[in-house]
Structure 1
Amino acid sequence: MRVERADGEDIAGLAWLKWQDVAPEAKAGRSLDLFTDELATWWRAHADTHSAFVARTDDGEIVGMAWLALLPRVPRPGAADRVSADIQSVFVLPAHRGCGIGSRLIAAACAYGTSLGAPRITVHSSDGAVRLYRRLGFSGSAQLLQLRGPA
């Protein structure tokens, strides 16, 4: 198993994983081909702010992904190139869970964000993944607050 940064050749595999990660009703009336085209368009529009990391089997099959979103922060004196980073859309196919692939994907995305100068990496986790993120060193912060919009 290898984990690496995805490129444009991986769009179909990333779209397929995202397709697997949503409930059937969310896909009603839609096709994987259409979603793949939408993701390709989105990828091109967000190439400067979002990077995907994939886990591949030895035969090249993509079985997991993690995304890292980078957001430029307002400069301050002495720090003109500030950036924030956020882990997004981590997913591993059920048959490949429990052997560290998710941890490796998150670690790769975090290392990349840190290499680009992000002083911290955030994540909005599902309830089921909180334990994983805590095990990887993520913790809560009284300074990180959120305001929920209307449902």
Structure 2
Amino acid sequence: MRISEATTNDVPELARLQWLDTRHEEPSQSSLDAFASELAQWWADREDAHFAFVARLAGPEIVAMAWVALVPRVPRPGAANRLSADIQSVFVLPEHRGRGIGSAVVDAAAQHATQLGAVRVTVHSGRRAVPVYERLGFASTRQLLQRPLD
């Protein structure tokens, strides 16, 4: 397995994985190719704040992805460039799950964020994935709260 930071050349595969991950959530009026174009433009507009990490097995096909979004924080005296990070859009092709591939891309994304100076890395997880994140060192805290939408 090879874990690497994705490049713009990977956008069609990233779009395909995102498409597969969300195909049951919302009906889409556009094609996969149209979505890939939208994703390419979205990422180009946010390339300094959003990074994707991917896993490949033997060939060029991407079998898993994890994105990390960097969020600038309000400066404090002596700390003008503060960052937080959020892990997003983690997906592993179903036939490759349960082999540590998702953990590897999440770990790479989280490490990248901390290397760039993030003081906190968060993730909003589905229930089934909570144990995976806990094994990677994520923990629930009483201080991190979420306000539900009405």
Asked if these proteins are the same fold (TM beyond 0.5), I'd say yes
RMSD after superposition: 1.1
Match of 2:78 in 1: 78
* 1:44-74 CA-partner distances (Å, limit 9, x unpaired): 0111110000101221110100000001111
CA distance in 1, matches of 2:63, 2:50: 19
Aligned 1:1-151 pairs, distance under 5 A? 1-24=1-24, 26-150=26-150
CA distance in 2, matches of 1:96, 1:122: 24
1:79–1:125 CA distance, 2 compared to 1 (3 A): same
* 1:77-100 CA-partner distances (Å, limit 9, x unpaired): 111110000000000000111111
- Are 2:83 and 2:120, in contact at CA under 8 Å, matched by a contact in 1? no
Q: TM-score, normalised by structure 2?
A: 0.96
Q: Which moved more, 1:28-37 or 1:76-85?
A: 28-37
Unaligned runs of 5+ in 1: none
Q: TM-score, normalised by structure 1?
A: 0.95
Q: Which amino acid aligns with 1:78?
A: G
Q: Percent identity?
A: 56
Q: Which amino acid aligns with 1:26?
A: E
1:52–1:135 CA distance, 2 compared to 1 (3 A): same
* 1:103-130 CA-partner distances (Å, limit 9, x unpaired): 1001100110110111221000011111
CA distance in 2, matches of 1:14, 1:82: 29
CA distance in 2, matches of 1:66, 1:114: 15
Unaligned runs of 5+ in 2: none
CA distance in 2, matches of 1:76, 1:25: 40
Shift of 1:25: 6.2
Q: Which runs of 4+ in 1 moved over 2 A?
A: 23-30
* 1:14-48 CA-partner distances (Å, limit 9, x unpaired): 00000110134624432101111110110101111
